[in-house]
Amino acid sequence: MDSLPAAGATPLPGPGTPSAGKPPEVNALDNGPSAAESLQNETPGRKPVRRETAESLATKQREISVSEFFTKNRHLLGFDNPQKALLTAIKEAVDNSLDACEEAGILPVLKVDIDQLGEERFRIAVQDNGPGIVKSQIPKIFGKLLYGSKFHVLKQARGQQGIGISAAGMYGLLTTGKSIAVTSRTGPGKPAHYYEIQIDTRKNAPQIIADTVVEWEPPHGTRVEIELVGTYKRGRHSVDDYIRQTAIANPHGEIFYNFPGGAGTLHFPRASDTLPPEPRAIKPHPYGVELGVLIRMLKETSARRLDLTLKRDFSRVSDRVAEEICAAANLRPSSNPHQIAAQEAERLYKAINSVKVMSPPTNCLSPIGEEQILSGMKKEIPAAFFTAVSRSPAVYRGNPFLVEVGMAYGGDLPADDLVDLLRFANRVPLQYQQSGCAITKSVLSIDWRSYGLSQSKGALPTGPLMLFVHIASVWVPFTSESKEAIAAYPEITRELRLALQDCGRRLSSHIRARRREVEEEKKRSYIERYIPHIGIALREILGMSKTAEQELVVTLKDVLERSRSRE
Ligand SMILES: Nc1ncnc2c1ncn2[C@@H]1O[C@H](COP(=O)(O)OP(=O)(O)OP(=O)(O)O)[C@@H](O)[C@H]1O
Ligand SMILES: [Mg+2]
């Protein structure tokens, strides 16, 4: 603390001092040495007890492998507590299986088994009927972080980072010392390969523990088994919940699920035989490309002319747009892209953003669709009213995305609980970090009382409602590697709000109509109760016979009944 000036040594300018109201001058409060002087001089009068030299530090400085980093920071990957770890490991394998089946055009059939081996010890197995994995790729996929087929491709998929399944294997190894086991076959007549793999975290490289050909019945597919420390719980955030929600968002998939202590296999049959539309990979849209990326793309392009680079390496750049960009950047269309200087690249970057370029193509997305959302919800949720909205695609940072919302209301859903909010990204249910997610923030930003629900300030609405919210994108902006919550880009929250409001309006007309019905029914039952009395009164006043009175009562009841069936 000795280098700090004593309190009051330099008076601060107050209302009475001459400098009051003026912007402070640099160093106005400090007569001490300048930053440059300080950097050159040693701190006077201080005897360091321990002091590193640049050389001694140099002996300690070395590369950190990505797997060492994530071993220390496994919470970033979703392995921060045993309950979450069990869910994350299953989720990574299930995501991959569904992705692989869809990419191969196969209707997915998944088998998910959880075997409890000890109080906190489990063996999980996820098996699919997908295309299988080529033998030489198996060790790298399961024994190396950041290795995958989806990171460099701009199209909608559940996986995007190339880290999921190897991280799950790494967590298993870390907590039980056991290898990840993989069985895979790529087609009928081909051998089924069985591997046991461990990750060498220092090198981020696979170590093969076993590599054999085995007897395995399925004609094609992959089975992944991991032993890990975890906790199995039912209810919120549970694997059971995740599997059920996966079935809702993937009505084209069939899942067999064996959970610990279960009486047998839970079967989620498919609700649709149609595969989702196949998403096409797109090139980056010029608006979404940052300067650094643009510079790298110019260096790496195989095109020999600037206009050709723009047309070939980006989406939506036509001859005319390429010409306009070059003109706005004051660069010749024939310039060699490899020789564009940094300043010129900056001009190009500004020019790109000043020229009108069509929105990116949206066939890179594969929405669930209103019909499928409805069939998924109806299959699993005991509600009385269902509605769904699938919005047209929009763009954030050059990445196409779209929002879909489904609502299930009434029926056997609990009336006094907070609304059940199911969040999905690229068809994957999100179980954790609800409050940090753009979906939750958008739901909270809406006044649900205007749609006929009750809501306390800053809370989710209350009522027999289940909200299903899905974001599909070529790159979902997750807030962390564990892919649990979505970042609140303004373009995304805008679309979310519009979809929620659209469904909200439909819900409110349903609620109003339902209330009217209940009211009318009340009135009718009231009238019904009095019909016999009206009969008696009329008989007495008009001197009618008993038979005429009974006929009158039957007619009146009939009229009432007909008014009911007209509804
Ligand atoms: N069951 C499977 N069938 C076929 N291929 C698979 C299977 N599981 C994984 N793969 C391949 O292995 C790659 C790596 O999987 P991994 O889960 O590590 O990353 P990812 O799915 O690409 O991205 P993310 O980290 O976001 O999950 C995938 O990109 C895919 O090509
Ligand atoms: Mg994955």
Ligand nearest to the CA of 142: 1
Closest ligand, as measured to the CA of 153: 1
Q: Which ligand is nearest to the CA of 130?
A: 1
473 lines ligand 1 (CB under 6 A): no
**What's the Cα-to-Cα distance from 218 to each of 99, 212, 258, rounded to whole Å?**
19, 17, 19
Whether ligand 1 lies within 6 angstroms of the CB of 148 is answered as yes
Pocket mutation for ligand 1, best pick of 66, 91, 99 (most atoms within 8 Å of C-beta): 99
- Which ligand lies nearest the alpha carbon of 97? 1
Which residue's CA is the nearest one to ligand 1's atom 8? 96
Report whether residue 163 contacts ligand 1, using a CB cutoff of 6 Å: yes
Task: Report the separation in Å between the CA atom of 237 and the middle of ligand 2, taken as the mean of its atom positions.
Answer: 20
Residue 541 Cα to ligand 2 midpoint, Å, equals 83
What is the tens place of the pLDDT at every residue in 381-439? Answer: 999 999 999 999 998 988 999 999 999 999 999 999 999 999 999 999 999 999 999 99
Q: How many angstroms separate the CA atoms of 448 and 443, rounded?
A: 9
494, 447 contact by CB (below 8 A): no
Q: Ligand 1: which of 77, 95, 96, 184 to mutate, judged by most atoms within 8 Å of the beta carbon?
A: 96
Best residue among 141, 225, 480 to mutate for probing ligand 1, ranked by most atoms within 8 Å of CB: 141
Question: What is the length of the chain?
Answer: 567
Three-state DSSP state, 54:
helix
Question: What is the reported pLDDT for 42?
Answer: 62
- Ligand 1 atom closest to residue 130's alpha carbon, by position in its atom list: 3
What is residue 436's predicted lDDT score, i.e. its pLDDT?
96
Question: Would you call 347 exposed, middle or buried from its count of C-beta atoms within 10 A (0-12, 13-18, 19+)?
Answer: middle
Whether 501 is in the pocket of ligand 1, judged by its Cβ within 6 Å, is: no
How remote is the CA of residue 194 from the centroid of ligand 2, in Å?
Answer: 20
List CB contacts of 2: < 8 A, sequence separation 6 or more: 45, 46
Per-residue tokens: 149: 């087929």
Say what the pTM is.
0.84
Helix axes 239-249, 370-380, angle to 10 degrees: 140
Q: What is the position in ligand 1's atom list of the atom closest to the CA of 222?
A: 1
Q: Return the ligand 1 atom nearest residue 163 CA.
A: 25
CA distances from 3 to 7, 51, 334 (A): 12, 19, 60
pLDDT of residue 307: 97
What is the distance in A from the centroid of ligand 2 to the CA of 415?
A: 37
pLDDT score, position 33: 72
Q: In the prediction, which pLDDT does 525 show? A: 86
Which ligand ends up closest to the CA of 100? Answer: 1
pLDDT reported for residue 12: 41
Give the atom of ligand 1 at the shortest distance from the alpha carbon of 149.
29
| The pLDDT value given to residue 21 | 44
Amino acid letter, 337: P
pLDDT of residue 510: 95
Measure 99 CA to ligand 1 centroid, in angstroms: 8
Parts of the chain with a pLDDT under 50: 1-28
